[in-house]
Structures are given as structure tokens and as C-alpha cells.
Chains A and B, each alone.
Chain A
């Protein structure tokens, strides 16, 4: 009794700092922003109110849908690419290599700053960049491909590059829990290599896959720096629009309303993704008998 209550007290003491941090710097600001989304702004001043105007204004503007679609598309493409590219790499690192050298080499790309990497891609993809000059010198194209830079393609490529180590980190640690015993047991019971993947490995590292997917999706779909610097005119996203409301237009309530609409969109994507995995029978904790 005494021991368990002491353990509880200990747990509480360990959890309190992070809980307080999140409360003060995340939950309270989010609630304030949520309240703010029902207010009005007039010439840079906030007017307390309770109105859905901001939401209806966003939802009735055609541009909002287009930009939100761009944002979701960036997020989905980046998440699919990141998970799709880092899963085989993680598999290789966990099951085919003894040391972690490869893992660390990939993580090294984290050591350079986010902005530096965005500008590096500008150099590579630009009109006088590495790709265009090489292709032109090879005589494959006569003038630079403008579509490489300042396009959703550039945004997704760069975001994938930035997100890959995150995805890898999450998937490596998830795969480490799927000991080779489980794989051998499945093989022994008659599973082909593909069946081992779909019936054992993926369900067992479900949390890692969902985590890696949602993590990269949310950060990429909400990002406004990369699309602004690399996305061009077609690459505008809701993130840029929201940032503008706060930074230049001074319309916090409208920005807040759009931010919560984005949040809702993210939740829908999350639920859809989880449902998809469930339909594909990749989720754990399912019974297949009655």
C-alpha cells in the first residue's frame, strides 16, 4: 500500500513539470486562440465577440479550399514519401546491419539547419542549379526546367528531405521491438516474406508507422516557410495565409479560425489514415474470429 502510493507520488512528481509546461505554453494559448477565433478585428484592434463570421468567411472563400488542398497535398505526399522511403531503410538498419553507422549517417543531416537546407535545394533546383546545368550540358534540355523550383514539387522534395530522419528514427525504434523471433515464428508457420510484413511486422510496429506518418504529415501540411520559399505561386498554402493574418494583416481572429479549420482537417486525415490501416488489417488488437 505504502509502496504503491509512494510510487504514485513519484510518478506525479516526474510528470508535473512537463504537464505544467504543456499547460502554460500549449493548452492555455490554444484555448485563448480558440476564443479569439470567435472575436472580430477592426483596424488592428481585437474586439471581443461571439461570432462565426471568421469561420464562414474562410469556408465561403474559394481560395481557402485551394490553399488547404495544397497544404494537405504537401503533407500527404511528404508523409507517404517519408514513410515509404524510411521504412525500407529502417528495416535494413534493424535486421541487416549490426551497428548503427548507417543510422547515424542519416541522422547527420539533422545537424544542418532547416533554412540552410531549404536554400541548398534552391541552389540545386534553380535555373542555374545543379540539375538544370547538368541536364543542359548533357543536351537533354535546351533551356532550364522552371518547374523544378518554385513548385509544389520543390516543396515536397525539400520537406521529405527534412522529415526523413524523423521518420527513420520513429520507425527504427518501432522495428527494434519486432524481434527476429516473431519473424522466424511467422516464417515457420508458413508465411511468405510479404505475409510476414503484412501480418506480423506492420501490425506490430503500427504505432511507429502511424506516428511517423502523422508527425511528418502535420509538420509538412502546416509548414509555411518551405512553401513560401520554394513553392512558387501555385504552391501557396493555408499556412502562409494564416501566417499573413497574424504578421501583416493583423487579423488574429480570422487567422485563428483558419488555424482551427486546419486542425479539423488534420484530425480528419488522422481518422481516415487509422481507418485505412484498420481496413487493410494492419492494425493490432483485432480479433479475426467470433
Chain B
């Protein structure tokens, strides 16, 4: 089912003086989804969100919300609301009046305001906190008030600018679940900015990965993880092993890459490569199979021999570093029932199925 687009960006470019921070961005955001703008700091994700909110004018391009070109409208005239990184709750007002701020400006009648604010405070589980002052709230509570203050205006799109960055880890995980619940209950479209790939993976319907003012890749978290289209994407989302080599042959469906003294076969996936071209291969740590080398025959295909260098026990899983002549590989497996683990210094062979590797040309 294809949902209508609620936000559309066409050729959005933003320059601050001589510095261009966003290059010709085209993006459609679907009604009701949680879309994450993910990327390292300075990639332009916050600027893109501020352009949608209207805090910055676009240098070129158009911002369309529900079919209306809002490019020239000020923030108060756009049907979106924002949750700020440091919440920006008004310290001179109590919780109720903070949440009521937008509705009062819209001149709602008093009893409707009271009803809407109470409903929203209950939604964020702060029903009894209306008369608290902002300085009396914990970080997590302030976060909830900020959410309520934005959502009470029934925005077409809720913009969240790294809303969990100021919270400690435990509350952060709890708030992620809360955000999902609130999203489910309100059905509002969320645009979520973060540099944290875990938050993005847990929360998003789709991720927009950004780098240096451009969109690197768009997809569901699973797609992005399984099929990164660039080295940057493979590295940014999750742990990954990167091998570099040169293309030695191209079959109809498999590309052969010379890595070290061996050969890696990888699905071509339609990427146009020519013999001799330098390419990278991305293999997830959990996609490796690692066995003790003793008793195994010689092989040079989709396998690397090495020595266990480091073992990190993480409860339900174990992470190994395996030093091979080419690269030190990360290998991850769930803890086996009998608790057996490889030990540092053991000679092992890491191998993988052809379709476990992703061929990257950039």
C-alpha cells in the first residue's frame, strides 16, 4: 500500500555564505511514518529539519507540506511542531501553561484547552504534573512535556531534533519505547533527527542516511543493514568488516575479487564493475562462520585463515577479533548453550557464503 506523501522536498539546497551544507535534496515523507534523518554531526540533518520547520529559509528548492508550498512561510504558519534537543520549555510557565501555549495563541476556548492539555498530559503519562514548574522536572519528564507541548497542536508532522541526546542510557531506551507508543496512539508523522544508529534502527520505518549535505541512502533499517550501497553506509550502520581488493573476473551472477592471496566471490547485484577495478567488500560480523583450522584442507575461496586475537564476552553474545594477513575481522556469535568459546591464540578459519558479502564500489 502506498501512502500519500505528507512532506515533499524538491531540490532543497542550503548555503550559509560560501559554505553549502545541503546539496539538492529530494525527499518524500509518507503519511504516518517515522522517518529518521541519520548521519554524523555536520552532515546537514539538523539543517534539513530546520528548513522543514521554517527556522531557516532554503537557498534553492521547495518544501511542500500536504501539497502546499510552505517554502516562504514563517515557522508559526507551518503545520509542523518541533521537540527541541534541550526541550526549550518555558521556565516562566508551569507544565500546563507550557502545553497550553500553542492552543492559547490559537485562541481556543478555555475549557477546550483544559481538556486537550489534560488529554495530552495523560498520553505522556504526566497527568498529575500540570502545576509543576519546569525546574522541578527530571530530564525524562521534561522530554515528555516537550512532546506534549508539540503534539497538542495536532501537527501534520512532528519534528524531533535529537530528543534523547540529553538523557542517560536507561531512560533513553525507555523513551524510545514511549515514542513508539505515542506514535502508534496519535498516528502523527514523525521526522526524527539523530546521529545514533541504534535509535534510528529501533525507531524508524525508514532511515535517510546523510553525509556531507547529501542523502547517502534511503531504506528500511533492515534494507540498510543488509544492503548498504556505499562504504559509508556499511560502516555507519552497525559493525562491519571491510575487505578491499581488485576485481579479477565477472561471471553472469558472481563477481570475483582478489583479496590478499585468495578470492572472494560475491553476488554482482547489477553493479557495473570491470576487471581490475578496486572495490570493497562488506561482511557483517555475525555473517562469518569461524572454525578451528585443525584438520581442515587448504582453501582460498571466501575464507581467510587467522588467529584469535581478542575475545569479548557480552552475555548473550561473544565478539572475537581475528587477525588475518589481510584485515583484522570482527566475528560475533550468540553464546553456545554449552558455553564453549574460542580462546585467544587459536588458529581459525573464517568463511562466509557469497551472498553474505556486499560488493561496494564507492
Please indicate which of the listed interface residues A191, A195, A206, A288 has the most CB atoms of chain B within 10 Å of its own CB. A288
Q: Which of B79-87, B136-144, B166-174, B257-265 contacts A (4 or more CB under 8 A)?
A: B79-87
B105 in complex: contacting residue of A185, A191, A203, A286, CB < 8 Å: A191
Nearest-neighbor residue (CB-CB) of B106 within chain A:
A190
Contacts of B74 in A (CB 8 A): 187
A189 within 8 Å of B (CB atoms): yes
B129 within 8 Å of A (CB atoms): no
Contacts of A185 in B (CB 8 A): 82, 84, 88-90
Complex Cα–Cα for A200 and B149 (A): 15
Beyond A189-B81, A200-B92, A204-B91, 14 additional contacts (C-beta under 8 Å) are A181-B84, A181-B86, A184-B55, A186-B101, A187-B74, A188-B80, A189-B102, A189-B150, A190-B106, A190-B153, A192-B76, A204-B90, A284-B91, A289-B97
Q: Which residues B144-199 have CB closer than 8 A to chain A? A: 149-150, 153
User: Is B130 a contact partner of A189 (Cβ separation < 8 A)?
Assistant: no
Closest-CB distance, B129 to chain A (whole angstroms): 13
Nearest-neighbor residue (CB-CB) of B102 within chain A:
A189
Contacts of A188 in B (CB 8 A): 53, 55, 75-76, 80-82, 150
A92 within 8 Å of B (CB atoms): no
A184 in complex: contacting residue of B84, B114, B117, B150, CB < 8 Å: B84
A285 within 8 Å of B (CB atoms): yes
Majority secondary structure of chain A interface residues (helix, strand, loop or mixed)? helix
A182 within 8 Å of B (CB atoms): yes
Contacts of A199 in B (CB 8 A): 101
B94 within 8 Å of A (CB atoms): yes
B114 in complex: contacting residue of A190, A200, A284, A289, CB < 8 Å: A289
User: Is B131 a contact partner of A200 (Cβ separation < 8 A)?
Assistant: no
Closest-CB distance, B290 to chain A (whole angstroms): 50
Contacts of A182 in B (CB 8 A): 88, 90
**Could you name 28 residue pairs across A and B whose Cβ atoms are closer than 8 Å?**
A182-B90, A184-B55, A184-B75, A184-B84, A185-B89, A186-B90, A187-B74, A187-B75, A187-B76, A188-B55, A188-B75, A188-B80, A188-B81, A188-B150, A189-B76, A189-B105, A189-B149, A190-B106, A200-B90, A204-B90, A284-B92, A285-B92, A285-B133, A288-B93, A288-B97, A289-B100, A289-B114, A289-B117
B104 within 8 Å of A (CB atoms): yes
Please indicate which of the listed interface residues A187, A287, A288, A289 has the most CB atoms of chain B within 10 Å of its own CB. A289
Nearest-neighbor residue (CB-CB) of A182 within chain B:
B88
B96 within 8 Å of A (CB atoms): yes
Contacts of A184 in B (CB 8 A): 53, 55, 75, 82, 84, 88
Contacts of B54 in A (CB 8 A): 187
User: Is A189 a contact partner of B153 (Cβ separation < 8 A)?
Assistant: yes
Write out, one digit per residue, whether chain A residues 170-207 have a CB within 8 A of any chain B CB (1) or not (0). 00000000010110111111111001000110011010
Size class of B's contact patch?
Answer: 35 or more
User: Is A288 a contact partner of B81 (Cβ separation < 8 A)?
Assistant: no
Chain A residues in the interface with B (C-beta under 8 A): 179, 181-182, 184-192, 195, 199-200, 203-204, 206, 284-289
Contacts of B117 in A (CB 8 A): 289
Majority secondary structure of chain B interface residues (helix, strand, loop or mixed)? mixed
User: Is A189 a contact partner of B92 (Cβ separation < 8 A)?
Assistant: no
User: Is A289 a contact partner of B90 (Cβ separation < 8 A)?
Assistant: no
Complex Cα–Cα for A1 and B309 (A): 49
Nearest-neighbor residue (CB-CB) of B110 within chain A:
A289
User: Is B105 a contact partner of A181 (Cβ separation < 8 A)?
Assistant: no
Closest-CB distance, B189 to chain A (whole angstroms): 16
Nearest-neighbor residue (CB-CB) of B131 within chain A:
A287
Closest-CB distance, A177 to chain B (whole angstroms): 9
Closest-CB distance, B275 to chain A (whole angstroms): 55
Please indicate which of the listed interface residues B80, B81, B104, B114 has the most CB atoms of chain A within 10 Å of its own CB. B104
User: Is B88 a contact partner of A195 (Cβ separation < 8 A)?
Assistant: no
A191 in complex: contacting residue of B55, B76, B91, B92, CB < 8 Å: B76
Write out, one digit per residue, whether chain B residues 241-266 have a CB within 8 A of any chain A CB (1) or not (0). 00000000000000000000000000
Contacts of B94 in A (CB 8 A): 287
Nearest-neighbor residue (CB-CB) of B85 within chain A:
A181
Contacts of B82 in A (CB 8 A): 184-185, 188
Closest-CB distance, A286 to chain B (whole angstroms): 8
Nearest-neighbor residue (CB-CB) of B53 within chain A:
A188
Complex Cα–Cα for A284 and B94 (A): 10
User: Is B131 a contact partner of A189 (Cβ separation < 8 A)?
Assistant: no
Closest-CB distance, A205 to chain B (whole angstroms): 10
Closest-CB distance, A201 to chain B (whole angstroms): 10
Please indicate which of the listed interface residues B90, B102, B131 has the most CB atoms of chain A within 10 Å of its own CB. B90
Contacts of A200 in B (CB 8 A): 90, 92
Contacts of A203 in B (CB 8 A): 92
Complex Cα–Cα for A204 and B88 (A): 12
Closest-CB distance, A257 to chain B (whole angstroms): 41
Contacts of A187 in B (CB 8 A): 54-55, 74-76
Complex Cα–Cα for A287 and B88 (A): 18
Contacts of B153 in A (CB 8 A): 189-190
